[in-house]
Structures are given as C-alpha cells and as structure tokens.
Structure 1
Amino acid sequence: MSALLVRDVMTKSVATVPPDLGYREIVERLVERGISALPVVGDDGAVLGVVSEADLLHKVQFNGADVHAGLFERRRARQAKEKATGETAAELMTSPAVTVAASATLTAAAQLMERHEVKRLPVLDDDGKLVGVVARSDLLRRYLRSDDDIRFDVIDGVLGRVLWLDPMDVAVSVSSGHVTLIGKVDRRSTAEIAARLVRGLDGVVGLTDELEWGFDDTTVQHRYTFDA
C-alpha cells in the first residue's frame, strides 16, 4: 500500500544544457526533444537553473527594440528585458531552479509546481545530483492504476493491515477509480479513518462512504477524578 513517490513516475533520461550553450542551440534541443524546458547543469553536476520557452520568448517579445531596463521598473519587467539580450543558457535561465527530491511524494511535487507556476521540476537524489525530471503529466499517472489494484489496497492495506477489520464486514467496489464502501464497523472514528485513508490511495478519484458504526466514540467526554 506504499504511495507512489517522484522517483516512481519521473523521466530518468534527462536532456540538459551547459551554462555556456548558445541561444540557437537551446532552441534546437527544445524542438528536437519536444519539451518546453531544460535544466542547466554545471561541470560538477549541480543544477544551476532552468531555461524554458518562456525565457527564450523574451527575445521575440522585444524583437530588437531598445531593452534598456529602467531603474524603477518592476523586477519582472527588468528580468524580461535582461533575458531579451541574453545569448547563453547562463544569461537566459531562471535561477535558482525549483527542484524536488526523488523521495518526495507526488502531492509535494504538485504543490511545488502550483506555488512556483512551473510545469516540470528537476529531480535530485540525496546528494543533490540530477537524476530525472518530473512533469505535470507524470503526476497524473497515479490515476492510471487498475480498479483491481485499488480494491486490493483498500481491502488488504487499509481495512486489513491498518485497521484490522474483518473483510467480510465491509463490501468494497471500485469503478473507474471511484471507491464505494458499504458495511458496519465498531466505532465512528474507525469509519472516519477508513474513509480518509482510502481517499489518499493512489488511483482513487472519488469515494462513496456508506459505512455505519455501532458506537460514536467522537462525542465521549473524558472525565478525570483525583483522590484527595
């Protein structure tokens, strides 16, 4: 029932560029690979930044116009003009690069992409070396798991190994990633834990929770008495 990690879905064959590679050569590599960004890697293997189509398009945006950056211009506008005059990966790249650890969860990777508004992330190992690239489309692979595999994780993992429930007490069905739980457990807290764990399983796109419980232990008031 182990969750997928970035290392499980990333692309391991990574195209990179050195910091001194020229503008035209960068464009050629992007087009040849059919990708939108490339990590810029130094001689020591460290990721220095990422050069993307957006970085390259600043030259098209200004199209030879005067790109002198004004003193009081906003930072983003100033950077755009600087990149419009750039000719090498080091001058064009966005740095520092937003990276993710190979051991990170897919949720953590998705949050990084959303926070930094990027479509892909260089993946680093424990030593900080580049080992892959993970894209938005890679994160969606978790939803390609078969219904049979999901059902096995629910029954064997959640109900059996975690909650120690008798599989006969809960009927589990899965259709196109949507899980339905029907049955009765001893406590309300057990039912709530089961639902939360099932929703977090790889491949689950939705849950119909029809679990009942015999005892509502979430409303119990604990009282403590002390001897004089």
Structure 2
Amino acid sequence: MSSLLVRDVMSTGVVTVAPDLGYKQIVDLLIEFGVSAAPVVDDHRRVLGVVSEADLLHKVEFNGADVHARLFERRRLRLAKEKASGETAAALMTAPAVTVKATATLTEAAQLMEHRNVKRLPVVDDDGNLVGIVSRRDLLRRYLRTDDAIRGDVIESVLRGIMWIDPIEVDVTVVDGHVTLTGRIDRRSSAQIAVRLIRGLDGVVGVTDDALAWGFDDTTTRLSHTFDA
C-alpha cells in the first residue's frame, strides 16, 4: 500500500548557513535564493539551529533601543532583544532546531509542524546530518496523485491485497481524489475496515460508502449465555 515518506517530497537543494556567517550576509543569502529561513549547520552538516526572517527582524524591531535585557522582562522579549544584538547566525538562530527524520511519514511531519508551530522542518538522516528540508507545501504533494493511481491502490492494495475482497464485488470510482464505493461485502466490519484503510491512502481526499451494502452485520452481534437455575 503506497505511503509517502518525508524523503519522497522533501527538497534536497537546501540553502544553509555557517554559524559564523554575519547578519548582512544572511540577509543577502535569503533574498538571493528567495527563502524565508535557512538551517545553520556545522562542518559535518549537523543542524545547530534555524535562522529565519523573524529572527533577523528583531534587529529592525529594536534598532536604536537599549538591547540589554532586564530581569523583569518576559522571556520572549529578552530573547528578542538578545537576538537584536546578535551579529552572526549562531547568535541569531533559533535553537535547538526542530527536525524530522527522512523516514517519517507525512502525517508525522504535519503533526510536528502543527505542534511546534513551524512552517518548515530540516530533514536529517539517522546520524542527525542534514539531507533536505520539507515545507507545508511539500506535504500537500500527497494529494497530487492521479485518480487512476488512487483507484489502483484501492483495488490492489486494500480490497485484494489486505481484505481479500474480489474487486468484482465492489465498484470503485475516484474523482478528484474522492473515492466512491458501491457493491456488496459479506460483513459490515469488513466494510468499515476497508473504508478506514482507503482513507489512509496517499491522495485520498474522502470516501463515500453510502451505496456499499453488506450481507451480515457482525458489529451488533451479542453473545448470550443461558444458565440453568
């Protein structure tokens, strides 16, 4: 059953910066390559942090102001002022970086982005070395699969491969990623399992099974025991 991983959708041509790169050089680099952030890596391509436009804007925000943090200031404001006085990527970056393994699923990457409130993730291998970067836009690529490819997955991977259901018994149509199932399956539980599996396929936007019937509703079966007094 097809399941895209981060390595399948990530960008490998990553713009990176060295820890000692200066503020002006970082700004020029982001503008030149049209990116809003870049991983900060050491000589072994281990990710130390990420420097973004937001990190760089702190210097503009506090330009001309006293950047010395005060004890009663909130932590976020103190960090912002500290970054405003920074001159290199090491001082400006957000660290530690939120990274994702190349072997992670797109769902795992999306959940990580949502939980940590980031728009992109540096992708690392098992040794923690940078191998790519994945953005929110990259995660949407799972929905770019053709209807024919999705239909093939439904029939071969789910119905025939996992459920052992003869495709002749169930008609599958796919339009713009939406799967419609019609026909008859022996048990209601089998129909429910098939629908859940299909919803998890890459490219599937939704599943309609209103016209899918079953011969036996085994989800309401109750075992009763009679005991003699």
TM band (smaller chain): over 0.9
Which residue number in structure 2 is paired with residue 37 of structure 1? Answer: 37
Shift of 1:128: 1.2
2:10 and 2:133 in contact (8 A); partners too: yes
CA distance in 1, matches of 2:145, 2:225: 49
Count of residue pairs brought into register by the alignment: 226
CA distance in 1, matches of 2:70, 2:189: 61
Which residue number in structure 1 is paired with residue 134 of structure 2? Answer: 134
Aligned letter for 1:216? D
1:120 partnered with 2:120: yes
Deviations 1:23-73, CA, capped at 9 Å, x for gaps: 011111111111111000012321100000110011111122112212022
Aligned letter for 2:8? D
CA distance in 1, matches of 2:163, 2:127: 37
CA distance in 1, matches of 2:147, 2:170: 17
**SS across alignment from 1:7:** helix
Which residue number in structure 1 is paired with residue 217 of structure 2? Answer: 216
CA RMSD of aligned residues (A): 1.4
2:102 and 2:124 in contact (8 A); partners too: yes
Shift of 1:222: 4.1
Which residue number in structure 2 is paired with residue 27 of structure 1? Answer: 27
CA distance in 2, matches of 1:159, 1:152: 10
Which residue number in structure 1 is paired with residue 178 of structure 2? Answer: 178
CA distance in 1, matches of 2:28, 2:15: 12
**SS across alignment from 1:208:** strand
Which residue number in structure 1 is paired with residue 152 of structure 2? Answer: 152
CA distance in 2, matches of 1:217, 1:77: 60
**SS across alignment from 1:8:** helix
Q: TM-score, normalised by structure 1?
A: 0.95
Task: Please list every run of 5 or more consecutive structure 2 residues that lacks an aligned counterpart in the other structure.
Answer: none
Q: Runs of 4+ in structure 1 displaced over 3 angstroms?
A: 222-225
Deviations 1:164-192, CA, capped at 9 Å, x for gaps: 10101111001111110111101111010
Q: TM-score, normalised by structure 2?
A: 0.95
Task: Please list every run of 5 or more consecutive structure 1 residues that lacks an aligned counterpart in the other structure.
Answer: none
Which residue number in structure 2 is paired with residue 198 of structure 1? Answer: 198
Which residue number in structure 1 is paired with residue 187 of structure 2? Answer: 187
User: What percentage of aligned pairs have identical amino acids?
Assistant: 70
Moved more, 55-64 or 215-224: 215-224
Aligned letter for 2:215? G
Distance 1:60 1:155, change over 3 A: same
CA distance in 2, matches of 1:200, 1:145: 14
Deviations 1:144-182, CA, capped at 9 Å, x for gaps: 100000000001111110101010111100111111011
2:150 and 2:204 in contact (8 A); partners too: yes
**SS across alignment from 1:71:** coil
Which residue number in structure 2 is paired with residue 87 of structure 1? Answer: 87
Deviations 1:185-220, CA, capped at 9 Å, x for gaps: 011110101111111111111111122111111122
Shift of 1:7: 0.3
